[in-house]
Amino acid sequence: MSLSRVGFVAFAVLVVGVPAIAASGVASADTQRRANGVASTPPANDTTPLDVVGVYPDPVVDEDVGEFVILDVAAPTRLGGYTLSDGEDRVELPNRTVEGRVALTVTPNLTRNRTEATVVALSQGIALANDGDHVTLAHNGEPVARANYTDATEGEIATRESDRDEDGLAWRPVGATDFPVVAAAGESARAFVLPSGASVPVETLADAETRILLAGYTLTSERVARELVAAGRRGVEVRVLVDGSPVGGLSRRSARRLDTLTERGVEVTVLSAEPARYEFHHAKYAVVDDRALVTTENWKPAGTGGHASRGWGVVVSADRVVHGLARTFQADTSGLDARAWSRYRAGKRFEPADGQPANGTFPEAVHPQQFSPDAVELLRAPDNAERRLLELLRNADEAIRIEQVAIGSRRQPFLRATLAAARRGVEVQILLSGAWYVEEANRRLVRRLNKRADREAIPLSARVADPNGRFEKIHAKGVIVDDDQVLVGSLNWNNNSARENREVAVLMEGEGVASYFTAVFRADWQGGDWPVPAGVVLAVALSWFVAVLTARRIEFER
């Protein structure tokens, strides 16, 4: 977009809420603060009813039509007497009483498509420069709030990030969510691991009576597609959301599955347009009636089909978690970057399939098991997952067990928090995948971590997994803390996953469900030294019962 001062300013909020940014009051230049190209001043007093909480200077449209500045109104306030200025032009706000996040705009119809806020039309606006500007809110001529920014990012809004320091601001695509962590009582949870528990995802879909909201990175499983079509035929609302531009491109196999679903009446949406809210839609979940299925695996034979990957999953019935996940699906399917599959695929060519679908067979070493966790939390990236996982690692007292595809770098924040835990005496085990595409890097990291552990004499050990015929490769993204809390979901241990992708995970608390995954972790950790014992299925099935009666952790026998 041009850097000229063109277009009018509209006032708006994000699709599902924006955290307060940079905010209010005016101070001298030496007290102004800058982070990520944006700066703002602290409140002049704690009773200021209006704050400037965001700026959107560079829309992805010609002549920057639809610019906006975000205001937060703490209490019912009449806007008469308030003005907004960029140092050159000054706009009087309409004399109307408002509260909460409001959208004042010279383009109300355009703004309504980008916000759930109350929209109030302005008779005129101010222009915002893409290469930097400042916005001042004044009341009866006295400044009450100000926000400054530099070098706007096209299609993104600058807001204050709650997981940064009190002065930190960052750019976020318009329409990207800022959901909080959702916490709920545990109620019922069915834990499963793949490849053993491949029947759980399909059975869950087959039991649907009213709705299926299925979200994934890719969908190639014929079995899953059949269940979705069958559900639609029996009157279930069926909607699917996938990424339109996965790494390597969308395959012909994926395109055929999505074609079939659409032809059979299933609503299919892809995220692959501008302005993009997320680099990848990498989440893997399904809302089925009043249950939420969250897994580490893709909807493909290698993943939820049970033909290759070691994965973790859970089906939870906590109402708040289910509602939060359904709200996530609705927000992600309604963004400007969302396209109906039939519209998206018109005139496109798709990539040849990379080999044949996975068709491995593996022993059913671990059966699904029902639990009643003490608590369940819903985490979403980039909204809150990084912050919550760091908090979890930093609060560990006894043990951290990590089963991951890979770790982004030696300076990755999750790894650094884990090393810090080991230095304060927490036992740490890190198990990484031996898949061909990560094996070399994982072995290098494992050597470095083990050398550091020896050098610093800290209780940390790392390994590359040896599947020993029980699965083909690790694709899980699991963390167990103090053998009492377990995180399951799509969040990889790299900054891109935590900060740029849409990811979903659930954090469960309770000895029973944690013991279940701890038993699986220990079996995977044993690797080549561990033959599948005859009693392993019974041991896991009785994990909750044993944990409650004996308060002892479950281990697989050698």
Distance CA 469, CA 15 (A): 47
Nearest to 516 by CA among 223, 313, 278, 280: 313
Distance CA 222, CA 225 (A): 5
Residue 544 pLDDT exceeds 80? no
pLDDT digits (tens, 9 = 90+) for 294-346: 999 999 999 999 999 999 999 999 999 999 999 999 999 998 899 999 999 99
CA atoms in the 13 A half-sphere facing the CB of 223: 20
Chain centre to alpha carbon of residue 26? 35
Neighbour order of strands in the sheet with 427-432: 182-185, 375-381, 503-509, 485-489, 478-481, 399-404, 427-432, 460-464
pLDDT digits (tens, 9 = 90+) for 465-495: 999 999 999 999 999 999 999 999 999 999 9
Handedness of CA 469, 428, 382, 326 (dihedral sign): positive
Highest CATH level, class, for 377-550: alpha beta
- Tell me which H or E stretch contains 390: helix 385-394
- Tokens of residue 550, six digits: 């004996």
Distance CA 245, CA 248 (A): 8
- Count of helices and strands (H, E) across the chain: 13, 31
CA atoms in the 13 A half-sphere facing the CB of 313: 36
Query: C-alpha dihedral over 478, 483, 486, 492, to 10 degrees?
Result: -30
Handedness of CA 525, 526, 527, 532 (dihedral sign): negative
Cβ atoms 311, 303 nearer than 8 A? yes
3-state SS, one letter per residue, for 59-100: CCCHHHCCEEEEEEEEEEEECCCEEEECCCCEEECCCCEEEE
Residue 399 pLDDT exceeds 80? yes
As beta bridge partners, residue 158 has: 55, 171
Indicate the range of 25-34, 205-214, 469-478, 528-537 predicted with least confidence. Answer: 25-34
Residue 36 pLDDT exceeds 70? no
Averaged pLDDT, 357-377: 91
Averaged pLDDT, 39-61: 66
- Tokens of residue 135, six digits: 């916005």
CATH 3.40.640.10 fits 182-344, yes or no: no
Q: Please, which residues have CB within 8 angstroms of residue 489's CB and are 6 or more apart in sequence? A: 283, 284, 285, 294, 295, 296, 379, 385, 477, 503, 504, 505, 506
**Residue 158 pLDDT:** 80
**Residue 273 pLDDT:** 83
- Tokens of residue 497, six digits: 């996953």
Do you know the residue count of the chain?
558
pLDDT digits (tens, 9 = 90+) for 259-295: 999 999 999 999 998 788 999 999 999 999 999 999 9
Is 32 strand, coil or helix? coil
Nearest to 508 by CA among 498, 500, 499, 518: 518
DSSP 330-363: HHHHTSTTEEEHHHHSTT---BPPSSSPP-----
Is 556 strand, coil or helix? coil
Distance CA 223, CA 45 (A): 61
CATH 2.60.40.1260 intervals, the chain: 9-173
Averaged pLDDT, 20-46: 37
Residue 20 pLDDT exceeds 80? no
Indicate the range of 47-61, 73-87, 538-552 predicted with least confidence. Answer: 538-552
Distance CA 548, CA 418 (A): 28
**Residue 121 pLDDT:** 81
CATH 3.30.870.10 intervals, the chain: 182-344, 377-550
Q: What Cα–Cα distance (Å) separates residue 152 from each residue in 64, 89, 166, 171, 311?
A: 12, 20, 21, 8, 40
Averaged pLDDT, 143-157: 85
- Tell me which H or E stretch contains 205: helix 199-206
pLDDT digits (tens, 9 = 90+) for 445-462: 999 999 999 999 999 999
State which CATH number among 1.10.3720.10, 2.60.40.1260, 3.40.718.10, 3.40.220.10 fits the domain covering 9-173. Answer: 2.60.40.1260
As beta bridge partners, residue 172 has: 157
